[in-house]
Amino acid sequence: MILKTFGWSFGVTIVGLVAAALFWGWEAFAIVLILSILEISLSFDNAVVNAGVLKRMNAFWQKIFLTIGILIAVFGMRLIFPVVIVSVTAGLGPIEAVELALDDPDHYEELVTDAHPSIAAFGGMFLLMIFLNFIFEKREVMWLRWIEKPLSHLGRINGFSVGVALAALLVAATQIATSAYQHGGLHADKSDTVLLSGVAGVLVYLLVGGLSDFFENRLEEDEERLEEEEAEAKKKAAAEGKEVSAVGVAGRAAFFLFLYLEVLDASFSFDGVIGAFAITNEIFLMALGLGIGAMYVRSLTIYLVRQGTLDDYRYLEHGAHYAIGALALLLLISIRWHLNEVITGLLGVCLIGLSFWSSVRANRLDAAAEESGAEKESSRV
């Protein structure tokens, strides 16, 4: 199971590290290894949340996520995305931006750092919407009940999560972005940029999330309708090929879930891409190291789905969403103050670790209660 799920990740790791050592030397080997570990530590919560979405997709779309999705994650977010940032913010063409990354990596790093406020605002608001919709949703399983129960009541108010997110954006734009962190420790007023980028993050979440929910609901409705029709006349339904319509709807639903996962992965990767510049400004080493880490995040997501880990450890998904909320706030704070990437990585790992420990403890208590109940039942007999 381990080799089947992580086989590609192991293979890419070996090829990537060997290529780094052969073409750039042992220093590059160490840099790629460090970047891989950085990406895995920063994105572990990403894997847990991805698994919660991916388990609703069929085997075909899970394979799409692991193949085409990884190409988007590695080449799109880890290689093309930093170039696009420089191209847009500096007013350069894509080819000029690539030439700048290769010929003058120091200036390239300056431009990416100066674009950080808009990146952090977009990614922070997208992730904040994910956390708020989770925490305001009414659910049977609650981890921190004293927090989650009262907040679930507030979630009954239509648009409440959007209102809270926009309020947080206003605070960030008016109080934090007025002195945004820039390259070399300088500061500049980025209020307008942060406001526009943050609104864009909220809109993208609402658009992609709304489309995926719409098609998923359509899928459930069509499946229920087809089940009723098949119960009445299975032969007639098979002859008319009504099963095909369900497959088609499933495809559209899965496509938008896939799109949602890709945007989610992009938001998670912002801190990893920006943090990588603290280690190296060589674009290919950065893409190689972060790409290896992204492979493990994908494989870990598949592993969690196939093992049913989220069902076995009931609070794990809660911990991941709390880590998302923390990361969203840290991204907004980082607009003004430079934060060490170790902080974001360790905070997410600690929250997930606590939720895992709480899940194990709850499972043990349930097992003890069942055993005690069985003993009482046997004594009565």
Residue 358 is assigned to a structural domain of this protein:
yes
pLDDT of 70 over the 60 cut = yes
Residue 376 is assigned to a structural domain of this protein:
no
Residue 337 is assigned to a structural domain of this protein:
yes
Residue range of the domain that includes 222: 2-371
Residue 381 is assigned to a structural domain of this protein:
no
Q: In angstroms, rounded to a whole number, what is the distance separating the alpha carbons of residues 283 and 80?
A: 10
Indicate the number of domains in the chain.
1
> What is the rounded average pLDDT of the residues 67-90?
72
**Residue the block writes with tokens 């409440």:** 160
pLDDT of 245 over the 60 cut = no
pLDDT, tens digit, for every residue of 90-127? 677 778 877 887 788 788 778 877 888 888 888 889 88
Considering Cα of 130, then 136, then 142, then 148, what sign does the dihedral take? positive
Residue 379 is assigned to a structural domain of this protein:
no
**Which pairs with CB-CB distance under 8 Å and at least 24 residues apart come from 17-23?**
17/292, 19/288, 20/285, 20/288
**Residue the block writes with tokens 């196939």:** 306
pLDDT, tens digit, for every residue of 43-57? 666 777 777 777 777
- pTM value is 0.69
pLDDT, tens digit, for every residue of 163-199? 999 999 999 999 999 988 787 777 888 899 999 989 9
pLDDT, tens digit, for every residue of 277-325? 656 667 778 878 888 888 887 788 877 777 777 677 888 878 878 888 8
> What is the rounded average pLDDT of the residues 150-167?
89
Q: In angstroms, rounded to a whole number, what is the distance separating the alpha carbons of residues 88 and 270?
A: 16
Which pLDDT score is estimated for 350? 85
Q: What are phi and psi of 180, to 5 degrees?
A: -75, 145
Which pLDDT score is estimated for 278? 56
What percentage of residues in the chain have a pLDDT greater than 90? 9
Considering Cα of 290, then 295, then 299, then 302, what sign does the dihedral take? positive
Q: In angstroms, rounded to a whole number, what is the distance separating the alpha carbons of residues 28 and 19?
A: 9
Residue 33 is assigned to a structural domain of this protein:
yes
Which pLDDT score is estimated for 220? 61
Average pLDDT, the chain: 77
Question: 191-232 vs 116-135: helix axis angle to the nearest 10?
Answer: 40
Which pair of structure tokens corresponds to residue 54?
A: 């991916």
Burial of 244 (0-12, 13-18, 19+ CB in 10 A): exposed
Cα–Cα distances in angstroms (integers) from residue 244 to residues 215, 222, 248, in the given order: 16, 11, 6
Residue 378 is assigned to a structural domain of this protein:
no
Residue 377 is assigned to a structural domain of this protein:
no
